[in-house]
Amino acid sequence: MTPSAAQMNAHIRDNLNFLYSAPACRVYNSAAISIANATWTALTFNSERFDNNTMHSTSSNTGRITFTTAGRYLLTFAAEFAANATGFRQISMDHSVTVGIASETVPVVSAAAATAMDTATHWACAAAEYATAFCYQTSGGNLNVNSSAAYSPEFMAHWMGN
């Protein structure tokens, strides 16, 4: 058989372009988010640094990265808590089917220094499933997750393979 131009475009051009520009996004929130004491709080993200697969919306379910394309994804979440001397800090990521797929827990740094954290994992995701990011702190009162430069709070995903 002789392949048609349409077949060549679909099976060579388009598939290779998919692998070259695999689905990925990085989103962040441009303002601090207050976290209540001893309460797991889902973060929201009102801005996008990049999103090449309609994985995030800044108008609905802004806390989600949705896997428009199924596959295995590298997921990373970073957040910086405001300086405070009391308690401990946790961050975590959930998958829509599985709660708690990655986390980090640390004591506070000091009363004078923020606590900057990140966590990452690799997870198999079906189309339309999604990931969310959470923060937890035990300062005894409300405490901000800072909006800092380009590192807090930031939520990222990159397709690594099917």
Partner 1 sequence: MPWVTQRTWTTAEKVTASQLNVMIRDDLNYLYGPRPGCRAHHDQAAEAVANADGTYDFLPMAVTDEDTDEMRTITVDTTPTPASAFAQIKTAGKYLVTAQLTFLVDQAITTHGFEWGVQIIKRTSGTNTVIGAKQNPNSGNVGPSTHNCKTLWDFAVDDLIGLLPVIGSLFVGVHITNDRAALAVAWLGN
Residues that bind partner 1 (CB under 8 A): 4-5, 8-9, 12-13, 16-17, 19-22, 24, 26, 49-50, 74, 76, 78, 80, 106-110, 112-118, 120, 148-152, 154, 156, 158-160
- Judged by beta carbon, residue 44 or residue 76, the one nearer partner 1 is 76
3-state SS assignment for residue 56: coil
CB of 157 to partner 1, least distance (A): 8
CB of 52 to partner 1, least distance (A): 8
For residues 156 and 25, is the Cβ–Cβ distance under 8 A?
Answer: yes
For residues 36 and 124, is the Cβ–Cβ distance under 8 A?
Answer: no
The whole-angstrom separation of Cα 102 and Cα 25 is 18
CB of 126 to partner 1, least distance (A): 21
CB of 40 to partner 1, least distance (A): 20
Tokens of residue 51, six digits: 């999103």
- Which residues partner with 154 through β-bridges? 28, 78
- Judged by beta carbon, residue 60 or residue 133, the one nearer partner 1 is 133
Question: What is the dihedral sign for C-alpha 94, 97, 99, 103?
Answer: negative
